[in-house]
Amino acid sequence: MKNKNLLIYLIVLLVLSFSIFIIKYINDTKNQYKVISENILFQQSSTLFNNIVTMRKWSSDHGAVYVKAHEGIEPNPYLENNHTYTKDSELLIKINPAWMTRQLSEMSNRTENYYFKITSLDPVNPVNAPDDFEKKALDDLAKNKDKTFYTSMEKDKYNLLGSLKIEPSCLECHVHQNYKVGEVRGGLRVSVPLDSYTQNIEILESKTNFLFTITILTSLVFIIIIVFTINSIYSREINITKLNKTLEKKVRIRTKELIDANKKLIEISTKDYLTNIPNRRHFFEIGTKSLHIAKRENNQLSVICIDIDFFKKINDTYGHNVGDEVLKLITKNMNKYIRKSDVLARIGGEEFAILLNNTNEENAFLLAEKIRIAIENLNYINNNKEIKTTISLGISQLTQEDYDLDSIIIRADKALYEAKNTGRNKSVIY
């Protein structure tokens, strides 16, 4: 459950982060578009400003321009020698840079809705007195000498005010103000309408808000789908886990039953049912492996073959039940004398064999004698009658010529027959 909640948290965090990135990208794009649009307004306004300044300079360089008097144009009342006459007595009105700027501004306002105005903090013409924007702009430019333009965005127009330097023609009107050529004493204002800009920004805001909404809704849908999917997967996993646990439990039980059955089968196939020691088959399997190991590592290995003396007589006299008890008793006592690394097996009715690892025939003989003596001194009481028994033993050890276990056992059997043929109850080395 903790892993599920952590996974949901991480995925939701990832989706939200991606959504925030998209929203930020959209918002940055919108702001960049606004900046570009404002730069376009600035370029447009500054271009108009430079055009007017260029015309003013041209007019100033040529000592102003004279035009024929006609309706709608009047001499500049603040300009001395503001008119002249031709030789034909035609009235020519002098248009200096300031008067030209005013004429252009009035014409532009009538046709293009662009606005131009010369202004100064100390104007000769009261009409050129600054409004709030112009005063703020002139104060800013006066404080920042290296600055050329001051801009402001109003509701319906973009305002730009650029500084103007005193030209020689300016001194005709400002002769009493001690202006010097090259000084900055005023500015030229250019106002550009914002109809297209405002319309574009409104469209941009609308599309941006739409994209914001789509992004947020998409993120929520993704989160819902992902959370639902993860919960479904985990629910399915829980059910599968429960089924697996049930199945695993059944498998464990069945496996244990199979293991127990295999153990029983192994015991049945490898142990003698009466004496509970390895049978002939198991003895030969272990003996063959031990022989190969001894040959490879050049170790010693010996085999003792054992036969109970006159065992048939015990069966005939006391019955097979008593014979079985005698076999168990002899087996139990022989087991006391062998090591864990040795193997005692019943290979026939009353025949036994012992496999001795890392043992030569002399040491095997010593063990054989211990076992023989122990069995000779063993008493079995049946119906108040004491049953005495002895064993005969034949011993053989591994030689360089031996390549299977049979060859060693054959020699041990021959030694065993010699022991039986020479009086029984003895140990003989081949």
Token reading at 274: 């009466």
Number of domains in the chain: 2
Please indicate, yes or no, if residue 273 is contained in any of the structural domains.
no
Percent of the chain predicted with pLDDT > 70: 93
Are 178 and 304 members of one domain?
A: no
What angle separates helix 280-297 from helix 405-421, to the nearest 10 degrees?
A: 110
End-to-end CA distance of the chain: 76
Kindly state the average pLDDT of the residues 364-385: 90
Please indicate, yes or no, if residue 257 is contained in any of the structural domains.
no
Please indicate, yes or no, if residue 23 is contained in any of the structural domains.
yes
Are 188 and 289 members of one domain?
A: no
| Domain enclosing residue 32, as ranges | 2-199
Confidence band of 2 (pLDDT split at 50, 70, 90): low
Are 169 and 310 members of one domain?
A: no
Q: What angle do CA 374, 376, 378 make, to 5 degrees?
A: 70
Whether residue 172 lies in the annotated active site: no
Distance (Å, whole) CA 20 – CA 15: 9
Are 190 and 291 members of one domain?
A: no
The predicted structure's pLDDT at residue 88: 78
The predicted structure's pLDDT at residue 169: 58
Are 191 and 286 members of one domain?
A: no
Q: Active site residue: 134, 172, 350, 361, which one?
A: 350
Are 194 and 310 members of one domain?
A: no
Are 167 and 289 members of one domain?
A: no
pTM: 0.49
Are 292 and 191 members of one domain?
A: no
Instruction: Give phi and psi for 90, each to the nearest 5.
Output: -85, 135
pLDDT in tens, 131-142: 999 899 988 988
pLDDT in tens, 349-359: 999 999 999 99
Please indicate, yes or no, if residue 213 is contained in any of the structural domains.
no
Cβ distance 373 to 407 under 8 Å? no
- CATH of residue 395's domain is 3.30.70.270
Which of 179, 199, 219 is the last residue in one of the domains? 199
Q: In what order do the strands lie in the sheet with 115-120?
A: 115-120, 184-193, 157-165, 149-153
Distance (Å, whole) CA 161 – CA 170: 19
The predicted structure's pLDDT at residue 227: 83
Are 69 and 163 members of one domain?
A: yes
Are 284 and 191 members of one domain?
A: no
Please indicate, yes or no, if residue 263 is contained in any of the structural domains.
no
Which of 157, 184, 199 is the last residue in one of the domains? 199
Which of 161, 184, 199 is the last residue in one of the domains? 199
Are 302 and 164 members of one domain?
A: no
pLDDT in tens, 147-175: 889 999 888 889 999 988 766 655 555 55
Q: What angle do CA 154, 156, 159 make, to 5 degrees?
A: 50
Q: How would you classify the pairing of strands 149-153 and 157-165?
A: antiparallel
Are 195 and 291 members of one domain?
A: no
Confidence band of 398 (pLDDT split at 50, 70, 90): very high
